[in-house]
Amino acid sequence: MNSVLSIESLTFGYTKEQLIYDDFNLSLNKGEVKAIVGPSGCGKTTLFELITNNLLPQSGSISVSKVSSIYQDPYSSFHPTYTIYEQINDVVDDMSELSSLLKELHLEESLIDKKPHELSGGQLQRCSILRALLMKPDVLLVDEPTSALDNVIALEVMQLLMKFLHKCGILLITHDMFLAQWCSDTIIDLNEHRNNNAE
């Protein structure tokens, strides 16, 4: 197995009295999808913040390869004053797959020359997915990726993400248990397992 993410004995809380994670373990391999589920406030988004080093654990270790992220709110993912193309070009070294991915995501090429506020929420979310895939990550962190999309496009987008599993591992946050069951190798319910191993 080609491990792309390893979390060992993670302890974290916003206060010392109330830990969100206590000796939490998780591993992810290339080609694997793990879904993180649980009620609001159980620590799903906090886990992504720890993986991307925006938060630091109190103890334990997180070893992760190259990461890109797709967030639930696409408007918070883009700067309002730059075009989509400029913001993709800033973080992507190889744009050779741009045209083919635009077609697979049902995006007109002209859209990426616009600014975020000129796009619908669904279009902007697909641009967020476009940027994340073009970064060629080893780990793709996906937070409610289809919440702004209609059912048909949502299914096509998830099928597209699955095509990239030979290149990366996917960690998915979702409230949609049907989606989690459809695409995941393992479902981790943080309400039940955040204090236990999730290997």
3-state helix/strand/coil string of 9-59: EEEECCECCECCEEEEEEEEECCCEEEEECCCCCCHHHHHHHHCCCCCCCE
Question: If you classify domain 3-78+136-196 with CATH, what class do you get?
Answer: alpha beta
Q: What is the mean pLDDT of residues 29-43?
A: 90
Q: Which amino acid is at 122?
A: G
pLDDT in tens, 74-131: 888 899 999 999 999 999 999 999 999 999 888 999 999 999 999 988 889 889 989 9
Provide the pLDDT confidence category of residue 187 given band limits of 50, 70 and 90: very high
pLDDT at site 8: 96
pLDDT at site 1: 64
Pull the structure tokens for residue 106. Answer: 């049902």
Task: Indicate the domain borders of the chain.
Answer: 3-78+136-196
